[in-house]
Amino acid sequence: MQTHQPRPQDGGQPSPRARKVLTAFLVLLVAVFVGLGTWQVQRLFWKLDLIARVDARVHAAPVTAPAAPVDAAADEYRHVTATGLFEHDKTVLVQAVTERGAGFWVMTPLRADGARTILINRGFVPADRSGEDARLGSELAAGPVTVTGLLRISEPGGGFLRANDPAADRWFSRDVAAIAAAKGLENVAPYFIDADATPNPGGLPVGGLTVVTFRNSHLVYALTWYALAVMSAFAAYSVHRRRFV
């Protein structure tokens, strides 16, 4: 009686061709992950240099606010000063969330150097103190004032999922161009100044709340990519070695 012998099984092992393809793919992954890790290392050193440069600007002696166009990379957070007359009747309130809670930034035009106008973020007022009466104490001085603070770049458009509405005087970002257009301001500097913590008469608004921090997770990302490269290299070696077992 003829019997059928079972065919030897290969244990589900991939063919030599499949192993070659898989090994090549894993080697490609190693190259990609090493490249991404190296890019993150480069970004890490760039971020550390940026932090050092911004820190130097913040703590440097104040200089006169520039009249020429500014560059975010070279000028943001520069310590500046400006002298002029506040135009309180053209103040706008921009919604804000700070360490003091929810409220508004008080943005007031400053007529400086004759015809030039600079928007000044005079500071924060809580939502329940944002009426004109609550800010009256800080607006009593009608003469020339000197403001010292940090140069900030305009924030066009609005906040997250909320567009500025100039017609309704609702502002979610400190958009210099839009505020200037809404209030009929001319010859406006393309930036604003965050006023420092010098107390205002009456206690409001509260300045000096600028947050100067930069997220820096590049080292974590670099280590993650390099770890994936090591794992892929080990997997490639394991697949390749099985050809000889």
| Sign of the dihedral through C-alpha 217, 221, 227, 230 | negative
B/e letters for 100-138, b = 16+ CB within 10 Å, e = fewer, are eeebbbbbbbbbbbeebbbbbbbbbbbeeebeeebbeeb
Highest mean pLDDT among 129-133, 218-222, 226-230: 226-230
Amino acid identity of residue 112, one-letter, is A
Which regions of 46-139 does DSSP assign to beta strands (E)? Answer: 63-64, 79-86, 92-98, 101-112, 116-126
User: Pairing relation of β-strands 79-86 and 101-112?
Assistant: antiparallel
- Tell me the per-residue pLDDT of 16-47, one tens digit each, with 9 for 90 and over: 778 888 888 888 999 999 999 998 888 887 77
Residue given tokens 């898989």 in the structure block: 22
- Tell me the per-residue pLDDT of 157-198, one tens digit each, with 9 for 90 and over: 887 778 999 999 999 999 999 999 999 999 999 999 999 988
Q: Say how far apart CA 241 and CA 19 lie, in whole Å.
A: 10
| Sign of the dihedral through C-alpha 222, 223, 226, 227 | negative
